[in-house]
Structure 1
Amino acid sequence: MTVDERYIDEELEIADEASQVRVDKVDVAKLLDEPIRVLDPGPPICCDASASIRDAVAMMQKRRIGCLLVTDGEELAGVITERDLLLKLIDRGLDGASTPVSQLMTRDPETLHHDDPLALVLNKMSVGGFRHVPLVDEQGHPTGIVSVKDVVDYIVDILPPSSVANLPPDHRLVARSREGG
């Protein structure tokens, strides 16, 4: 067997392995029925409705997050996101040091519970255009938050490593020469 034939055989084998990586529809249905808790959402990161926008932004920067749950006492009153800050703060000409979070937050956000299926969080994100969905207990107290990144990370973790992790930066590009020479 020549070097070229071995190279072609290797490439065909790699292509064959890649084409065999499929997620079974039954697995997807099972995945969508899993409770949100499988995402292992962390504890809620909250600020009081009376906190200043400046304080909320500082908290978001420190924690490297894009959304804060806003509370009034122990109950969820709203959410404030990077998008709220970009679209509302500047547009309204408000001062971040003196403006309370309650003036910019999204009030009474749609919420879910840790036991709700993943299908529900995906539905809320898709239909509602949300990137974050707050989680609450039966009394309406915040217990966590789910982000699009949480869902994507979970899906990537359960897929076979070769199906996602080894994709080139642009999967449409095909190498024209053999790696290394």
Structure 2
Amino acid sequence: MDDSEFGDASGDELKAVGALLTEPIGRHLRGSPVSVGPETTLAQAVALMQQRRIGCVLVVDDEGCLIGIFTERDLLNRVVGHPVDLAVARIDKYMTANPETLAAEDRLAWALNRMHVGGYRHVPIISEGLVPVGVLSVKDIVDDIVELFPAEIQNLPPDPSHESPQTDGGA
């Protein structure tokens, strides 16, 4: 990769990305987390995820403490293709129980590391007592990084040398 591949973005913008990664997660949370109880049906949870255009819901107990997370991946890997009646199946049977969590004061770089190592796209952010205060997603982090670059960089045409070769037969 040569120095000009990112145009004028190789200086200040890349330093800004480094600075962004040292910031606390709490600065990057977008709104309150969407939570449901363990008795919520899969149909209700999926409808809520569709309505809110989110990739996960947190599952909390009666005291509001995190007990699990249900993500799009859980839906695909544990529900789709299996004989599950979404209208009666409870979310607590299909959620990821006791997910890894982070605190709002943890650094963004640490969150990226944990997401990469753990292979997940969403991490619940909790306060004392396992009470969720937010959810951080890989998309949130990418959106924040993209905002650091000027529109000229974001809208550069694709480099033909990076395109996939054409194959016969589609796909």
Question: TM-score of the superposition, structure 1-length normalised?
Answer: 0.79
Q: Secondary structure at 2:120's aligned position in 1?
A: coil
Structure number, greater radius of gyration = 1
Read off the aligned partner of 1:19 and give its amino acid letter.
Answer: G
CA 1:117–1:39: 2 relative to 1, 3 Å: same
1:91 CA drift (Å): 4.1
C-alpha distance in 1, partners of 2:6/2:110? 31
One of 41, 48, 56 as aligned partner of 1:59: 48
Q: What letter is aligned with 1:56?
A: A
Does structure 1 residue 36 correspond to structure 2 residue 25?
A: yes
Q: Which residue of 1 aligns with 2:164?
A: none
* RMSD (CA atoms): 2.2
Bigger relative CO (Cα 8 Å, ≥ 6 apart): 2
**In the alignment, what sits opposite 2:110?**
120
Other structure's SS at 1:96 match: coil
Q: Which moved more, 1:18-27 or 1:129-138?
A: 18-27
In the alignment, the residues of structure 1 paired with residue 142 and residue 94 of structure 2 have an alpha-carbon distance, to the nearest angstrom, of: 28
Q: In structure 2, list runs of 5 or more residues that go unmatched.
A: 162-171
Using a 3 Å threshold, how does the CA distance of structure 1 residues 124 and 29 change in structure 2: closer, same or farther? same
**Distance in structure 2 (CA, Å) of the matches to 1:18 and 1:29:** 16
Give structure 1 stretches of 5+ with no counterpart.
1-15, 175-181
Instruction: Measure, in 1, the Cα distance between the counterparts of 2:113 and 2:138.
Output: 12
Q: Is the 8 A contact 1:18 1:162 kept in 2?
A: no
- CA displacement at 1:41 relative to structure 2: 2.4
Q: Secondary structure at the match of 1:30?
A: helix
Note the C-alpha offset of 1:132: 0.4
Aligned residue for 1:134, secondary structure, equals strand
Alignment of 1:90-109 (within 5 A): 90-109=80-99
The answer for the alignment partner of 1:155 in structure 2 is 145
1:80 aligned residue: 70
Deviation of residue 65 (structure 1)?
0.9
% identical aligned pairs: 43
Which of 125, 128, 132 lines up with 1:135 in the alignment? 125
